[in-house]
Chain A
Amino acid sequence: MRLRPFVLLGSALLAATSAVAGCGGGSGSGGGAAFDPKTCQGGTLTVLNQGGLGKFDPATLYTSGGGALPSLVYRTLTTRKRVPGQDGTKPVPDLATDLGTPSDNAKTWKYTLRDGLKFEDGTPITSKDVKYGIERSFSPDLPGGAPYLHDWLVDGTGYKGPYKGGDLKSIETPDDKTIVFKLRAPHGDFPYLATATQFAPVPKAKDTGVKYQNAPVSSGPYRVAKYEVGKKLVLVRNPSWSRAVDGQRLACPDRIEVTAGLDATVINQRLSSGSGADAKAITTDTSVGPEQLARVGGDPNLAKRVARGVFGETKYLAFDTTKKPFNDVRVRQAVAYAINRQSVINAIGGSELASPATTFLPDGKAFGQQPYDYFPAGQSGDPAKAKALLAQAGYGSGLTVDLAYPNVDTDGIGPKVAPAVQDALKQAGITVKPKPFSDDDYRNVTGKPSTQPALSLQTWGTDWPAGGPFLIPIFDGRQIITSGGNFNLAQLNDPAVNKEIDRINTITDAAQAAPAWGALDATIGKQALVVPLYHPKTVALFGKDVKNAYVDEWRGWYDIASVSVK
């Protein structure tokens, strides 16, 4: 993904609004029988969130793997596997019978819908509904979804959606069960993409344009009973759905009430004290803040109600290698040596919330990460080595550079991290001048090569757990976009890298593709185009009466489809 949807680093937002750690304390975890998927049905689950209810149209949502809440209402061609652990990073069929049949060197993907699928009103779901759902997402009135469909589908870039643009030829529906996608280039990752909400069926007859989100037609286990934008979402059982036609979602609670717009502190406070309905509460976007970690660690009752996880994400320093002084690889290496990752991690909340990153790809088999550390900075940097390199590069008497970063900590690359970088580089004789940008401006400034700062703090997260979406936008030379929206900040256009990307894209077996991406990352890493800083980690509380709460490895957050409150 280009920027993280839905998931917010709780600690970060908390810092921006500055609140106080919760008081009181958790009472003991409620007893009850062990979790059994067969008898887990019943009860009302409360979800306490900071944000995430700004929109609910499947066309405008930007999710990883279909998201937590949307995937309860919108089924997609494929979906993420709903199990704890490594297997959770794999896509599995959802509406479709399999992960898709590639042909034409992975440029054509064919799916067949399974039998018995129905919308909430009982009408059967057809492949045309899936096609229409995708077409809608091309409408300029329904922006916000991931850009992949535009880029990958034949004629995708010029298409303006069904309201004005008519039919999208590159999606074929030869019959009600079959849907075929024609891509411009090979994309072995297509089954991953098909987990996005844009792949949810939308009945054309019920489409109300921008108002569709207020009364969407459900294909999943729940239907929308009430939706107040930005504030409240109430989901109740969809009578047309059954586990018989859905192998992934357990859908235990009878009713799910989501409240958004809460403060991180309030959420953690309510989860830890767990009084009343809060005992059956969970959050899908709020991590325990650094100031609460000590308490969680010290309270065994609370410690039992914490889930930890990782979302594939890397925070890094990006160089523009076409600009001085970073056109000199020795300067880039010097920065890499000088960096004090321990300071950076402490600044955003310590080792519980982040792990140091030396590779661009995040940990985990799904990414195929090959560990490397070409410019070992140790825990706290190697200023001596950095100084030596700088001297070689002709900056023995010191160097002054600007560091651009967003002025909020939401993405974990803001005012908390920048001073840590600044201080580390100072030890190596590099004077850093902080250049904060307003959050909304930041992407626009850094995304346009003409305005891009030479050194900036950046974040990159995954749209699905694979190496491709992680490496392609950042290092593919053909992805340099001069008009804005560029992510290849290094301006790397290396034919060898481009060729290798094309090669891996044709691999349709994820198990084969992953090591290839890992190897590519390890190769690119030698050029010191970026300095990886850390990979964030999630520490999230859940209510004392919540069962089967685990953090899935695809998204790093609770999967509501699996939890029970009975």
Chain B
Amino acid sequence: MIWFLVRRLLATVAVLLVMSAIVYGLFYLMPGDPAVLACGKRCGPDQLVVTRHKLGLDQAVYLQYWHFLQGVVVGRDYSSGPDVNHCAAPCLGYSFQSDQPVTNLLLDRLPVSASLTLGALVLALVLGVGAGLLSALRRGTFVERLLTGVTLLGFSTPVFLIGLILLLVFCAWLKVLPFPSYVPLTENPAEWARNLVLPWCALALIEAALFARVARAGTLETLAEDHIRTFRAYGVPERQVVRRHALRGALAPVATITAVELATIIVSAMLTESMFGLPGIGKLAVEASTSVDLPVITGVTLLAGTAVVLANAVADLLHAAIDPRVKLA
């Protein structure tokens, strides 16, 4: 267990190093001058020099990367004229667009993205696993065909299309739900949920389709396994066979896939946030990409990478908890 955590930690650090190096590399492979981007539209030659120096862009590439890493680990200082701006520990630099510390930008938006993603994930798991089990256990019935069709549909539809349809129906026609606008959970839990229902559904329907497939496949595979036959041969009622012996086997892959899917969910959340105008990290990323706000892009990328790597570690823990054969090592 300890070894597992240590190894995972090391792997996480390695992955993040690689990711940051890749993203940082993009800074320099790109045709433009980062200082010009940072300085903005109205930027005279004087200011350009100041900006370049302030951001350390006049240094060698490897030094800049080193300072960047330093900033992430222990923080760094940006000197500008009379003042020294200290950017505290996980320092990801300053946004070119808003001159805000990227760390703050991310933290500000984290609650929105977390609310959206986690809520949708729970909903997707409930819907998906339910549908998957149902269609596996009702094989050959109308229910199965219906669920298969719905799953395929959910599978083929981009999240923005689903979101659009949901808006049209629930917001424009039925007028039962508001156009989403983020209300912090701490401020008003009821409004928080009411406003997030549509984004949750849009995001969850897509993921649910995947979970349904995996849960269905897992159930069918488990039901075909020999040990199921053993319990049938010993007179255990079918209901109990499914509940006690098939369910775990069916759900183990769902746990794995959830972690593996996180990268996809993050991507879908980006689209969902853009679609509904929710001020989350995904929207930040889209805006940063449009305006080539490199520090923000780097920050979002690293955050997403961390989330994915951590999710995979959690999935491994979960997998080990479900399946006694798996040893954490």
Contact = CB atoms under 8 A, between A and B. Distances in A.
Q: Is there direct touching of A and B in the complex, by C-beta distance under 8 Å?
A: yes
A444 B45 CA distance: 11
B99 A54 contact: yes
Nearest to B46: A140
Nearest to B49: A140
B275 interface: yes
A554 B187 CA distance: 39
A23 to B, nearest CB: 4
B290 interface: yes
B315 interface: no
Given A17-B274, A229-B100, A269-B179, A23 B36 contact: no
A211 B83 contact: yes
Nearest to B171: A23
Given A230-B98, A440-B291, A19 B82 contact: no
Nearest to B105: A230
Interface string B277-298: 1010001001100111000000
Contacts of A18: 274-275
Given A19-B276, A229-B99, A443-B42, A143 B179 contact: no
What is the predominant secondary structure among interface residues of chain A facing chain B?
Answer: loop
B81 A139 contact: yes
Interface in B152-171: 164, 167, 171
A266 B181 contact: yes
A375 to B, nearest CB: 31
Nearest to A143: B47
Given A269-B179, A273-B178, A19 B37 contact: no
B85 interface: yes
B323 interface: no
A484 B275 CA distance: 38
Interface string A144-161: 100000000000000000
A144 B277 contact: no
Contacts of B97: 54
Give the size category of A's interface with B. 35 or more
B100 A230 contact: yes
B83 A19 contact: no
Given A17-B277, A18-B274, A62-B42, A440 B83 contact: no
Nearest to A444: B36
A485 B42 CA distance: 8
Interface residues of B, number: 42
Contact of A408 (B83, B178, B290): B290
B42 A2 contact: yes
A443 B175 contact: no
A209 B291 contact: no
Interface in A29-79: 54-55, 62
Nearest to A16: B290
Interface string A265-276: 110011001000
Contact of B274 (A19, A211, A270, A443): A19
B276 A163 contact: no
Interface string B260-285: 00000000000000111101000100
Interface in B81-132: 81-83, 85, 97-100, 105, 108
Contacts of B82: 141, 163, 209
Contacts of A55: 99
B230 interface: no
A210 interface: yes
Nearest to B31: A441
Contact of A485 (B44, B83, B100): B44
Nearest to A440: B37
Interface string B61-95: 00000000000000000001111010000000000
A439 B96 CA distance: 13
A334 B42 CA distance: 33
A438 B292 contact: yes
A440 B178 contact: no
B98 to A, nearest CB: 4
B172 interface: yes
Nearest to B167: A20
Nearest to A275: B178
A441 B36 contact: yes
Contacts of A443: 41-42
Given A24-B178, A55-B99, A266-B277, A17 B50 contact: no
Interface of B: 32, 36-37, 40-47, 50, 80-83, 85, 97-100, 105, 108, 164, 167, 171-172, 175, 178-179, 181, 274-277, 279, 283, 286-287, 290-292
Given A19-B274, A163-B81, 16 more contacts: A3-B42, A17-B274, A17-B287, A20-B276, A23-B167, A140-B46, A140-B47, A141-B50, A164-B81, A210-B81, A211-B83, A265-B277, A266-B179, A439-B41, A441-B36, A444-B36
29 contacts: A3-B41, A17-B290, A19-B277, A20-B179, A22-B179, A23-B171, A23-B179, A24-B171, A62-B42, A141-B82, A141-B83, A209-B82, A211-B83, A229-B98, A230-B100, A261-B279, A266-B179, A266-B277, A269-B181, A270-B181, A273-B178, A438-B292, A439-B41, A439-B290, A440-B36, A440-B40, A440-B291, A444-B36, A484-B45
Interface of A: 2-3, 16-20, 22-25, 54-55, 62, 139-141, 143-144, 163-164, 209-211, 229-231, 261-263, 265-266, 269-270, 273, 408, 438-441, 443-444, 483-485
The 6 closest A-B pairs by CB, nearest first: A141-B81, A263-B277, A23-B171, A23-B179, A230-B98, A19-B277
